[in-house]
Structure 1
Amino acid sequence: MNRLEQDDYLALRAGATILEEDGFGEKVLRLADGTMLKLFRRKRLLSSAAWSPYAQRFADNAAALHQRHIPAPVIIAVWRVPSIDRDAVHYHPLVGKTLREMRREGLEAHREQALKAAFTRFVIHLHDCGVYFRSLHLGNVVYTPDHQFGLIDISDARMGRRALSKQLRARNLRRLEGIPEESEWVDSSAVLSGALQEKPRTL
């Protein structure tokens, strides 16, 4: 992880649009050139982020997903920014719309059913590839212009060498199942049985 000095940081974020912030400050910026800058703070003094920074996890997980041929952001750089006490990852965003955006905009019934079936196949494919995505919900799954599903906000994903066990598959579905508007987007029984043993199809 390289060090980014204050003057260079200010030059980088000149003309940026703030996409996400909280009471502690800026979190996600769209830079003037269309690339993204995601800022991470260490939430606790004693935290795994001390030796495994979230920004580096984001970058490492993007590389691991690409190795598995799963669309994800393309990393440009990872920095430590001491002047604002943040780590940062600079990346090209994944082009497309999140499934949450598509659902809210409205879909024809047959289109929605096709997307739900394809999404279930995608989740099975993730689990078969050893991907445990803690933030699995429709807001973090992008449908790309070339009809693939990809992942964003990936700093808390875990990449294993083997397919997930049934117990881990069930645990991975819990967050999605807890969102009333989104739980019906995945066939949980199919995911747990691994019944659809095939790669996601294009639509």
Structure 2
Amino acid sequence: MRSVSAQELESWIAEGRILEQDTRGPKVVMLQNARYLKIFHTRRHPAIARLRPAACRFQRNTIRLQHLGISAPEVLDVFWLDAKSGVSGCIYSPLAGEPVESINKREPERICRLLPSLAAFIKTLHANGIYFRSLHLGNILELGNEQFGLIDVLDMRFKHVPLGQRLVNRNFAHLSQYLARHQVLNFPMDALVEHYHSLD
């Protein structure tokens, strides 16, 4: 995996638009060519991070999702930003869609119409053995025609069998906790779960 110099990274950030950042710095930057730079700061020991770079795991997850017919970003390049510290990055083409979270804020009545297809999408993930711990409204995009895709797919496991009820419950619990943490009080969580179980 190639290394990107500090000067090249600084140029990308200076010429792009920072979309997401935290105390460690930028996390997602929209570049001038409309592609996105994603920076993976790591909490792992650098030696472990160097063995399994987060950018490579992100790329593998997008490829596996696409092979299963689930829309995900297309990763175009992966690289080290600071190999010594285990900080990696990638360039990807974003999905053309809108986060369900944004739709819920702007058009809560539309969410009610989307619930059956959203429940079916989550059911498809679980049926394919996909446990996406970061499943929340900001990471699910509505792509048009009530089709959905996923972004920020690093925190994901693929199993060889459909998810059991324990992991299904845990996945919905993470989503409920996200809604409570972000005070998204108007999202019809109970109705979503009801639609999901009606598909059994």
TM-score if structure 2 supplies the norm length?
Answer: 0.86
Partner of 1:94: 95
Tell me, yes or no, if structure 1 residue 65 matches structure 2 residue 70.
no
Partner of 2:3: 3
Q: How do 1:138-177 residues align onto structure 2 when only pairs under 5 Å count? A: 138-177=137-176
1:51 deviates by 2.2
1:166 deviates by 1.2
Counterpart residue type for residue 67 of structure 1: H
- Match among 184, 187, 191 for residue 192 of structure 2: 187
What per-residue deviation string (whole Å, max 9, x for no partner) do you get for residues 40-71 of structure 1? 12224278534222211111100010001101
Q: How big is the alpha-carbon RMSD for the aligned residues of Structure 1 and Structure 2?
A: 2.3
What per-residue deviation string (whole Å, max 9, x for no partner) do you get for residues 152-203 of structure 1? 1110011122211111111111111222434617633554x5x416xxxxxx
Unpaired runs of at least 5, structure 2: none
Counterpart residue type for residue 41 of structure 1: H
Partner of 2:26: 26
Tell me, yes or no, if structure 1 residue 196 matches structure 2 residue 199.
yes
Partner SS, residue 138 of structure 1: coil
Task: Provide the C-alpha distance between the structure 2 equivalents of 1:84 and 1:32, rounded to a whole number of angstroms.
Answer: 28
Q: How do 1:74-113 residues align onto structure 2 when only pairs under 5 Å count? A: 74-82=74-82, 85=85, 86-108=87-109, 111-113=110-112
The share of aligned pairs that are identical, in percent, is 31
Partner SS, residue 139 of structure 1: coil
* Contact 1:6-1:83 within 8 A present in 2 as well: no
Partner of 1:200: none
Task: Provide the C-alpha distance between the structure 2 equivalents of 1:58 and 1:98, rounded to a whole number of angstroms.
Answer: 19
What per-residue deviation string (whole Å, max 9, x for no partner) do you get for residues 19-48 of structure 1? 111111111111111111111122242785
Task: Provide the C-alpha distance between the structure 1 equivalents of 2:154 and 2:97, rounded to a whole number of angstroms.
Answer: 20
Counterpart residue type for residue 188 of structure 1: V
Task: Provide the C-alpha distance between the structure 2 equivalents of 1:120 and 1:161, rounded to a whole number of angstroms.
Answer: 21
Q: Higher mean Cα deviation, 48-57 or 23-32?
A: 48-57
Partner SS, residue 174 of structure 2: helix
1:5 deviates by 2.6
Unpaired runs of at least 5, structure 1: 198-203
Partner of 2:40: 40
Number of residue pairs aligned between Structure 1 and Structure 2: 193
Q: Higher mean Cα deviation, 6-15 or 175-184?
A: 6-15
* Contact 1:62-1:74 within 8 A present in 2 as well: yes
